[in-house]
Amino acid sequence: MTKEYLDFMVGSPLRNCVIKNIEKVSVKVPIKDAPTSEYADAEKICLTVTDRNNKEFRISDVWIEKYGEAVIKGLWFTLSDSEKLSPSSSVAQLLSYYKVDTLKELINKQVQVFPDDKNYLVIIACKDSLIP
């Protein structure tokens, strides 16, 4: 390392990554307002990304804009009545933000990620100036 260690400054938590793989995974989610601990089956999209150091991360949440603020939503796989991705879903918003039509088109695409409050990486699909 050529730089003197005393000269390093704190970097940004914002990272550029590349999507290497996309999977649809089954998860159990609690049923809201159920009288007992009941669970329903759901499907979530899980992205595998690598950073510039080839570290691999799995991401299943996205930063999107809602009412002028950045919020985190799960990448839930939901279809409309016409058997297409639901246009209001977070997955659809992710595709729109990166200007692609299908999940397959995201593979090998460079994306930005930013950690949530628990330091898990979340893919960005909104203006990064909105992210806290």
Q: Residue 6: which residues within 8 A CB-CB, separation 6 or more?
A: none
Domain assignment present for 5: no
Alpha carbons within 13 angstroms on the beta-carbon side of residue 112 total 15
Which helix (DSSP H) or strand (DSSP E) does residue 97 occupy? Answer: helix 90-97
Domain assignment present for 2: no
Report pLDDT for 85. Answer: 93
Domain assignment present for 78: yes
Nearest CA to 128 among 77, 63, 84?
Answer: 63
For the chain (length 132 residues), average pLDDT per consecutive 10? 79 93 93 80 96 96 94 95 92 97 97 95 91 80
Domain assignment present for 6: no
Query: What tokens appear for 84 in the block?
Result: 């297409």
Residue 55 domain boundaries: 14-130
What is the total count of domains within the chain? Answer: 1
- Could you give the CA distance from residue 48 to residue 103 in angstroms, rounded to a whole number? 12
Domain assignment present for 39: yes
Report pLDDT for 2. Answer: 62
Domain assignment present for 43: yes
Query: What tokens appear for 125 in the block?
Result: 């699909």
Domain assignment present for 40: yes
Domain assignment present for 116: yes
